[in-house]
């Protein structure tokens, strides 16, 4: 049943391909979408098949031109999407191959270093601890090199603009924004027109918050504190007293 509905939906949407821009009002567009769902429901459940098919044929006759235009547009969009997916697939495959080669090379390098360490320990008169220390540093360096994963050649910018053959782009370039002057921080100038309100430290040491309801754990998690409420109340009380 589900597969049947999916196939019917695909078939219907090939012709019922209008966009919101094709309608004068949002209400007309919503009515259009509702009609599509009604048609799909009827065909999926074998309800009023004859009249439903007549509605479809009538719609196709009345909207032949716009259906053709939208099919052309959808075709281009699908082609661009398929092209992008293929590029991403190729990038992923190339990256996988590079990782496999790198892993194989690291395994071979470790094996060579291990064999060299054994040869050095058996043939050298140098202190064994010093020899092991030197090879331990080499092994650590090999491990760090293994973490550096080669990046596949990019085929698009992070903004989604693609590189294509011949230096052409699949989409319009992003307009360059003119940068303004660097931001310079300026401390806030507060004008109270009254006595300077006490700071948070003075409110706590002066015992002001004894008369304020303590904040709950939820309020504290949201950034609210009793000190803040008390400070705001005192600011409002002292502000404008010199007017």
Range of the domain at 49: 2-62
Q: CA-CA distance, 215 to 221, in Å (whole number)?
A: 10
* Mean pLDDT score across all residues of the chain: 78
Domain stops at, among 62, 84, 110: 62
Q: Considering the domain boundaries, does residue 9 fall inside one? A: yes
For the beta carbon of residue 196, count every other beta carbon within 10 angstroms: 10
Is residue 185 over pLDDT 50? Answer: yes
Can you say how many angstroms the Cα of residue 12 is from the centroid of all Cα atoms in its chain? 32
21 and 84 inside one domain: no
Q: What pLDDT, on a 0 to 100 scale, did the predictor assign at position 147?
A: 59
Q: CA-CA distance, 209 to 231, in Å (whole number)?
A: 9
55 and 83 inside one domain: no
Q: CA-CA distance, 72 to 81, in Å (whole number)?
A: 14
Q: Considering the domain boundaries, does residue 220 fall inside one? A: yes
Q: What pLDDT, on a 0 to 100 scale, did the predictor assign at position 167?
A: 42
Q: Considering the domain boundaries, does residue 156 fall inside one? A: no
Residue 16 to residues 44, 48, 58, 197, Cα–Cα distance (Å): 16, 19, 12, 67
Structure tokens at 79: 């082609």
79 and 133 inside one domain: yes
> At which residue do the structure tokens 């716009």 appear?
66
Domain stops at, among 47, 62, 77: 62
137 and 200 inside one domain: no
Q: What pLDDT, on a 0 to 100 scale, did the predictor assign at position 233?
A: 86
124 and 76 inside one domain: yes
pLDDT average, residue stretch 150-165: 47
Q: Considering the domain boundaries, does residue 226 fall inside one? A: yes
37 and 78 inside one domain: no
Q: How confident is the model at residue 159 (pLDDT cuts 50, 70, 90)?
A: very low
Q: Considering the domain boundaries, does residue 231 fall inside one? A: yes
pLDDT over 70 percentage in the chain:
78
Domain stops at, among 120, 147, 174: 147
79 and 140 inside one domain: yes
Q: Considering the domain boundaries, does residue 162 fall inside one? A: no
Q: Considering the domain boundaries, does residue 169 fall inside one? A: no
Q: What is the pLDDT of residues 22-54, one digit of tens each?
A: 888 999 999 999 999 999 999 998 899 999 999
Q: Considering the domain boundaries, does residue 178 fall inside one? A: no
203 and 238 inside one domain: yes
138 and 86 inside one domain: yes
**Single pTM value for the model:** 0.34
Tally of domains within the chain: 3
90 and 40 inside one domain: no
Q: What pLDDT, on a 0 to 100 scale, did the predictor assign at position 189?
A: 79
Q: What is the pLDDT of residues 96-150, one digit of tens each?
A: 888 888 888 888 888 887 777 777 767 766 777 776 777 777 777 766 666 555 5
Q: What angle do CA 144, 150, 155 make, to 5 degrees?
A: 155
């Amino acid at each position: 049943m589900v597969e049947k509905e999916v196939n019917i939906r695909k078939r219907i949407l090939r012709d019922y391909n209008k966009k919101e821009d094709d309608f004068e009002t949002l209400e007309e567009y919503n009515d259009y979408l509702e009609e599509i769902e009604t048609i799909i429901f009827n065909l999926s459940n074998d309800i009023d098949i004859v009249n439903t098919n007549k509605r479809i044929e009538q719609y196709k006759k009345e909207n032949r031109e716009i259906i053709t235009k939208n099919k052309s547009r959808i075709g281009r969009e699908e082609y661009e999407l398929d092209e992008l997916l293929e590029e991403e697939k190729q990038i992923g495959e190339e990256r996988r191959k590079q990782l496999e080669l790198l892993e194989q090379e690291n395994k071979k390098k470790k094996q060579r270093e291990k064999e060299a360490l054994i040869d050095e320990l058996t043939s050298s008169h140098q202190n064994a601890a010093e020899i092991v220390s030197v090879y331990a540093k080499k092994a650590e360096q090999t491990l760090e090199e293994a973490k550096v994963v080669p990046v596949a050649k990019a085929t698009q910018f992070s903004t989604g603009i693609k590189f294509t053959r011949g230096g052409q782009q699949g989409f319009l370039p992003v307009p360059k924004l003119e940068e303004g002057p660097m931001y310079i921080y300026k401390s806030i100038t507060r004008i109270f027109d009254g006595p300077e309100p006490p700071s948070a430290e003075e409110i706590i040491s002066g015992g002001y918050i004894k008369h304020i309801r303590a904040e709950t754990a939820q309020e504290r998690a949201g950034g609210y504190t009793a000190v803040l409420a008390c400070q705001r109340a005192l600011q409002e009380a002292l502000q404008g007293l010199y007017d």
